[in-house]
Amino acid sequence: MSAPLLQVEGLCAGYNGAAVLTDVSLHVDAGETVAVVGGNGAGKTTLIRTIAGMVTATAGRVHFDGDDLTNLSSDRVCERGIAQSPEGRQLFQSLTVEDNLRLGAVLKRARAKVDDALEQAFTLFPRLKERRSQLAGTLSGGEQQMVAIGRALMAQPKFIMLDEPSLGLAPVMVDLMFDSIAALNKRGMSILLIEQNVSESLTLASRGYVLENGAVVLEGPGAELLENDEVRRAYLGL
C-alpha cells in the first residue's frame, strides 16, 4: 500500500500559549476527498492553517508527498504543492474576477502556465468566465467563493484545502458548491474539506473526521459517520 499524500501525526498547535489542537492525526490519500467536520471553535481552521505553515505546530508532524513540511513557511508549503481557499474568501474586492484569479499564480511554475490554469478555472466555474471583467466586490457570496477556490487552483497544486466553502451561502449555491468540489475531485485533485455542513460534506467525502475541542473524536467512511448516532444527534438534529 502506498503512503498517504498527506499525513498528519499527533499535531498540537494554538495561539499565545493557549492550546487549540491536541494530538490530531489524519491522512489523505492521493485522489481522495476527506472531510473534517465540527462546530464553531472545534479547531478546524487552526488545523488547516497549521498544515499550511501559518500557525506554528508545538508538537507532531506534517508529511506531504514524502516530505516533512512541519513548520515550513507558508510560501514553501505552497511550493511543495499545497494550496488553500481560506474561510471568508479574502478577495480583493476592487479588482476584477480575472485579476483575483491571476494573483493565485504566484509560483514560477504557475506563472508559466497561467492562461491554461485560467481556462481550467473557467471550465470548473463557467459563471466566472461570464463575469471575468466584473469587480469581485459586486459578486454574490457563492460567486466570490468560486473565485476563492479558482484562485487557489491557479497555483496548480497537487492538493487543495477548502475552509468552510459553503459558509453563508444560499441553499442553491451550497448545492452548486458541493457539485463543483465533486467535479474537482473527479479531475484527480486531492482535497481536504473543512466544513460545518456535516451532511453535505460527509456525503461527498470518502472518509471523514469529527473534530471537537481540538481533538479527533470520531473517524471513518463518510457514509458510516452519517449513520453514527452521536453524529446524527450532535450535528444533524436527529
Rounded Cα–Cα distance for residues 135 and 138 (Å): 6
Q: Which domain holds residue 201?
A: 1-81+158-168+187-238
Q: What is the CATH number of the domain that holds 235?
A: 3.40.50.300
* pLDDT at position 1: 63
Q: What is the Cα–Cα distance from 8 to 192, expressed in whole angstroms?
A: 12
Indicate if 224 and 164 belong to the same structural domain. Answer: yes
| Spans of the chain, pLDDT less than 50 | none
Residue 202 in 3-state DSSP?
A: helix
Whether residue 150 is found in the same domain as residue 76: no
Measured in degrees and rounded to the nearest 5, phi and psi for residue 135 equal -65, 135
Q: Tell me: do 76 and 11 sit in the same domain.
A: yes
Split into its structural domains, the chain has a count of 2
Grid cell of 72 as nine digits: 515550513
The answer to whether residue 58 is domain-embedded is: yes
* Whether residue 230 sits in one domain with residue 164: yes
